[in-house]
Each structure stands twice: as C-alpha cells, then as structure tokens.
Structure 1
Amino acid sequence: MYSEPQPTASGEQFDPSAMTAAHKSLPMDTMVEVTNPADGSSVTVRINDRGPYIAGRCLDLSTASFEKIASPSAGVVDVQWQVLG
C-alpha cells in the first residue's frame, strides 16, 4: 500500500482515494482484480504506476483499494490477482 501524493509512471498525479495500483510490467490502464484469500474480499484496480521495488511483492495498491481488502494497519497482505479482460 502507498499513499503519498506523487507523479505516477503514467503521468497522472497519484490519488490515494482512487482504485489504482502499481505493477512492474503490466501495461498502463490494465484492470486487475485483487483478492485477499484470507477473507475473500476483492477490489478491481487500474494499473497506473510502476513498482513495487521490494523483493517478493507483486503490486502496490493505493490506500483506498487496499482498505477494500485489508486493514490499513496491516500495510502488506498476501493476495491473489488476475488481469480482467
């Protein structure tokens, strides 16, 4: 999860309230369903940035999208994800 306002790799300003995420290689504007297998909650996000750059992590979710699937105090959770369409 990340929340600090900053420019994204897509050129738009990062909005922590948007349903967006960062991925290292998926094309910009790809829609991805992210599911927390611990409770089955899921969220659909749009890729608009690059990252994460920490080993073992596949996605960085905006604050709002992370809050849909886990408690913000967790900071990091294991997820399952799939590209939509």
Structure 2
Amino acid sequence: MKQIIALLAIVFLFSAATDLQKGTASYYGYKLEGRRTSSGEILRNDSLYAAHKTLPFGSIVRVVNLKNDSVVLVKIIDRMPQKSSRIIDLTQAAAKQLNFINAGLTTVTLEVIE
C-alpha cells in the first residue's frame, strides 16, 4: 500500500511540474501596435495579449514574474519564432503589470489556465 501511495505522489508531482514553463519574457515594441498577429487579431499594446511558440490561439496563460512575484493573465494571439530563446512575448500592458518595462526582460513561469 505504501508503494502505491508513493508512486501516486511521484506521478502527481511530475504531472504538476509539466504544467509550468519557466524562461525569459520580453514585450512587444511600440512600432508593432495595430499590426495583424498570426491569429488574425490586431495587436493592441494596451490589451493583455501575448505570443508563444506552440500554445493554441485563445489560450489563457497565468504569467508570474519570478523577480517580484507579480502576476498577469494574458490571451495568446500570436506566434514567436521557434528559435527564440524567450518563452513568451507580452504586450506593454502585461509587461507593466509584471513591472519589467524598464528592464526589458524578466524571468517568468507560465501556467495554462484555459
């Protein structure tokens, strides 16, 4: 019985860990305002949008800035290059909520909410 409980605990820990992604976040420059994204939506830097390499368009993602624990929910509307070293590109509104506008980059975790 103890072995089964231990096995279930290990499976739970690994499945929970795979739901999170950790890496570097950046944000869109102001020159991209008003341009059409990969999903067909228009980029608005005052909205809570983001680009990701693989997540489906319309996904809602919880982004946590690991440097200051600030949190924002964003909608995926665009694609990033597969070779990018970053895991997410956020609108300026999302970057402001995460308090990294001046830094330009920050370390984040991503969790898909829906």
TM-score with structure 2 setting the length: 0.69
The alpha carbon displacement at 1:39 in A equals 1.3
| Contact 1:32–1:46 (CA under 8 A) maintained in structure 2 | yes
In structure 2, the partner of 1:29 is 58
| Contact 1:52–1:59 (CA under 8 A) maintained in structure 2 | no
> Is structure 2 residue 72 aligned with structure 1 residue 72?
no
Of Structure 1 and Structure 2, which has the larger fraction of its residues in strand? 2
The alpha carbon displacement at 1:41 in A equals 0.4
Q: Secondary structure at the match of 1:57?
A: coil
Q: Matched residues, percent identical? A: 34
Aligned Cα root-mean-square deviation (Å): 1.4
Of Structure 1 and Structure 2, which has the larger fraction of its residues in helix? 2
> Who wins on radius of gyration, i.e. which is larger?
2
Q: Secondary structure at the match of 2:106?
A: coil
Mark the runs of 5 or more structure 1 residues left unpaired by the alignment.
Answer: none
> Is structure 2 residue 111 aligned with structure 1 residue 56?
no
| Contact 1:52–1:60 (CA under 8 A) maintained in structure 2 | no
Q: How many residues align structurally?
A: 85
Give the counterpart of 1:16 among 45, 48, 66.
45
Which stretches of structure 1, 4 residues or longer, exceed 4 Å deviation after superposition?
A: none
TM-score with structure 1 setting the length: 0.91
The alpha carbon displacement at 1:54 in A equals 5.8
